[in-house]
Amino acid sequence: MTTSAPTPQRTRVLPTWLIVAISVVFGLFYAYFVWNAVGFLSQAASGAQPLNAYGWFVLLLSVLFPLIAFGVAFAVGWRRTWWEFALVLIAGLCVVAVFWLNILTYTVGPSGSSMLG
* pLDDT tens-digit series, residues 66-106: 999 999 999 999 999 999 999 999 999 999 999 999 998 88
pLDDT-based confidence at residue 109 (cuts at 50, 70, 90): confident
pLDDT at 12: 61
User: Which residue type is seen at 96?
Assistant: V
Q: Among 23-32, 36-45, 105-114, which range has the highest average pLDDT?
A: 23-32
pLDDT at 6: 74
**Domain ranges for the chain:** 16-112
Question: Any long-range contacts for 56-59 (C-beta under 8 Å, 24+ apart)?
Answer: 58/103, 58/106, 58/107, 58/115, 59/103, 59/107, 59/115
pLDDT-based confidence at residue 30 (cuts at 50, 70, 90): very high
